[in-house]
Amino acid sequence: MVELNFDANDVEPMGVLEVLPIGEYTVVISETDMKEASTGKGQYLQLVFSVIDGEYKGRKIFDRLNIVNESTTAQEIAQRGLSSICRAVKVMHPQDSDELKDIPLIVVVGIRPAKGEYQASNVVKGYKNADGSNVEKIGGGTIPEKGPEKKSVPAVPAAKKKPWEKK
């Protein structure tokens, strides 16, 4: 048992979150975790991107990179995706996924349509540097031409307070 001492009357309930519109979002990698594949025959890198700018600031975008997989194609797509992320955040030789965190980049987001019991969801289609250059397309699909208005956030040295952190 966990003691809560909480009064729901004091807090607005969370509404239903809809998928983000197709477009480009300035984000940072806020969480990483290596997880076992559901088949038990591989591992994927779970990435959580936090939107740091614009109308959708604070929303999360998720991506999975099949780092270890029976399918060489799945592994190749994951390696290309990881290479794109490394180039976008300008960390070319990370020894640990934490080295990729808290550095602004842009993710190009699409929508995976609802299918069967699964609702529509966002899917990462590519990555760009925070200045909007260097589009890296991964997997299939089309990178959208337009998206929500965004402002580029320059990379911030680790010693300085990051612009998206609370004051």
CATH number for the domain harbouring residue 39:
2.40.50
In a domain, 41, yes or no: yes
In a domain, 165, yes or no: no
| Of 30, 32, 23, the residue nearest 55 (C-alpha) | 23
Token reading at 57: 């600031």
Per-residue pLDDT of the chain (167 residues; tens, 9 = 90+): 889 889 999 998 887 788 999 999 999 999 999 999 988 889 999 999 999 999 999 999 999 999 999 999 999 999 999 999 999 999 999 999 999 999 999 999 999 999 999 999 999 999 999 987 864 444 443 333 334 443 333 444 444 444 455 44
Q: Look up the pTM and report it.
A: 0.72
Q: Residue 48: its pLDDT value, please?
A: 98
Please enumerate in sequence order all residues whose Cβ is within 8 A of that of 56, keeping only pairs 6 or more positions apart, or say none: 20, 25, 148
In a domain, 60, yes or no: yes
User: In the chain, which ranges are continuous DSSP H helix?
Assistant: 72-89
Query: Which residues on neighbouring strands pair with residue 62, listed in sequence order?
Result: 48
Range of the domain at 80: 20-137
- pLDDT tens string 126-148: 999 998 786 444 444 333 333 44
Judge whether 143 and 132 are in contact, CB under 8 Å: no
Length of the chain: 167
In a domain, 54, yes or no: yes
In a domain, 3, yes or no: no
In a domain, 98, yes or no: yes
The rounded distance, in Å, linking the Cα atoms of 132 and 161 is 22
Instruction: State the total domains in the chain.
Output: 1
Please, what is the Cα angle at 141 between 29 and 67, to 5 degrees?
45
In a domain, 133, yes or no: yes
In a domain, 50, yes or no: yes
Q: Residue 134: its pLDDT value, please?
A: 61
Query: β-pairing, 23-36 with 105-112?
Result: antiparallel
